[in-house]
Amino acid sequence: MHLAHRLLQDGQQVVGIDNMQATQGPSHGGLQRARLAVLSRHAGFRFAELDLADADSVDELFRSGGFTTVVHLAAQTGVRHPAEHLQRYIMSNLVGFANVLDSCRKHRVSHLVYASSSSIYGANRLMPFSEHHPADHPVSVYAATKRSDELLAHSFSHLYGLPTTGLRFFTVYGPWGRPDMAPMLFADAITQGRPIEVFNEGKMLRDFTYVDDVVESIVRIMRHPANPDPDFDAFHPDPATSHAPYRIYNVGNQQPVALIDFIETLEKELGRKAQMIFRPMQAGDVIATSADSSELAKATGWAPATPLAAGIARFADWYKSYHS
Ligand SMILES: NC(=O)c1ccc[n+]([C@@H]2O[C@H](COP(=O)([O-])OP(=O)(O)OC[C@H]3O[C@@H](n4cnc5c(N)ncnc54)[C@H](O)[C@@H]3O)[C@@H](O)[C@H]2O)c1
Per-position pLDDT tens, the chain of length 324: 999 999 999 999 999 999 999 888 888 899 999 999 999 999 999 999 999 999 999 999 999 999 999 999 999 998 777 677 899 999 999 999 999 999 999 999 999 999 999 999 999 999 999 999 999 999 999 999 999 999 999 999 999 999 999 999 999 999 999 998 989 999 999 999 999 999 998 999 999 999 999 999 999 999 999 999 999 999 999 999 999 999 999 999 999 999 999 999 999 999 999 999 999 988 777 788 899 999 999 999 999 999 999 999 999 999 999 988
- Global pTM value: 0.96
Q: What whole-number distance in Å separates Cα of residue 267 and Cα of residue 249?
A: 33
Q: How many CA atoms lie within 13 A of 157 on its CB side?
A: 26
User: Is there a contact between 76 and 88 (Cβ–Cβ < 8 Å)?
Assistant: yes
323 alpha carbon to ligand 1 midpoint, in Å?
22
Domain 2-322 annotated CATH 3.40.50.970: no
| pLDDT at res. 28 | 87
Q: What whole-number distance in Å separates Cα of residue 137 and Cα of residue 123?
A: 6
Rg (CA), the chain: 19
| pLDDT at res. 273 | 96
Q: What whole-number distance in Å separates Cα of residue 324 and Cα of residue 319?
A: 9
| pLDDT at res. 78 | 81
For residues 212-245, b (16+ Cβ closer than 10 Å) or e, as one string? bbbbbbbbebbebbbebbeeeeeeeeeebbbebb
Q: Which of 23, 33, 73, 315 is the pocket-test mutation for ligand 1 (most atoms within 8 Å of CB)?
A: 73
User: Ligand 1: does its nearest atom lie under 6 Å from the Cβ of 79?
Assistant: no
273 alpha carbon to ligand 1 midpoint, in Å?
30
Residues 142, 173, 210, 249: which is the catalytic one?
142
| pLDDT at res. 284 | 72
| pLDDT at res. 82 | 63
Name the residue ranges covered by the structural domains of the chain: 2-322
| pLDDT at res. 288 | 85
Q: What whole-number distance in Å separates Cα of residue 174 and Cα of residue 314?
A: 7
Q: Which residues partner with 100 through β-bridges?
A: none
229 alpha carbon to ligand 1 midpoint, in Å?
29
User: Ligand 1: does its nearest atom lie under 6 Å from the Cβ of 207?
Assistant: no
Sign of CA dihedral 169, 5, 72, 140: positive
